[in-house]
Every structure is written in C-alpha cells, then in structure tokens.
Amino acid sequence: MTNPTPPTSQTPDPTPTDGEGLAQRLIEQVNALQKRIDKAERRIRIERALADAQAADVQAAADEIEHDDGGATDPDITSIVRRLKRQKPGLFKSPSDAAAGSPANITSFPQGQRPEPHLTILREKARQGDRASLLLYLRARRDKA
C-alpha cells in the first residue's frame, strides 16, 4: 500500500489578517502625509521669512536653505535666514534696491499736467501698499500719457 499524502494542516498564517494589514497601511499613509504637511508648512514659514528679509529670489533662497539644512526641523527660521543673508548677500536685495521698487516712490504726473481727482486717490492708495490700486493707477497714468 502506498502512503496517502498527509492532509495539509491549517496552521495560522503569520501574516496579519486583511483588516490588520489595511489598518497598518493606512497608518503608514497618514504618517507619510503628515510628514509632507510638516515639510510644506516649514517651506511656507521659510518663504515668509525670506520675503520679510527682502530676498531677491524667494524660491532660490528657500531651496538654498532646504539644501543646506537637509530638512532639519529647526524652529528658529529667522536665525537661519539671518545666517543665509550673512553668508550669501547676493540672494537679497540691497536697501537701495528695495526702496526703488516700493510703491512709496511713485512720482507725480509730468509737469504741466494736473492729475484727475480719482487718480490722486489711486496714487495715495498705491503709496499705502494697495496693489490693486497701484495697478489701476499705473494703467490710468499710461493711458493718459
């Protein structure tokens, strides 16, 4: 007589059940998403600090910071920006460059032309930093010239 093949045993599978595996994958996805959110929030804080420090190219300066620190979680971003400004001043506007591009330096109309009242109001709003008014003022001034 031949030996019949032994019945396969129903030993428990060492891998997690479908529900446990799904839960583990979801936890990993949540952790990965949280890391991406943290990285994006840090990038935003860096870009705001660079804009406040009057970086000439905010994106390039932010890339430089992220490249240098390797994505460290240093909470004091202002000190990082100050260090970058000392190390690479070419990434930042000089005080004269910053003042030249500010809305406060809008000149009056050419001599002999009186500005219309609505243009005077737009010019004042533009001096206060209202970007929409600045654009309207410049467009009206261009059309008038």
- Which residue has better confidence, 112 or 47? 47
pTM above 0.85, yes or no: no
Q: Note the pLDDT of residue 6.
A: 57
pLDDT tier at 98 (50, 70, 90 boundaries)? very low
The overall average pLDDT reported for the chain is: 74
44-48 long-range contacts (CB < 8 A, ≥24 apart) are 45/77, 46/77, 46/80, 46/81
CA 24 to chain CA mean position, Å: 32
3-state secondary structure of 55: strand
Q: Note the pLDDT of residue 114.
A: 56
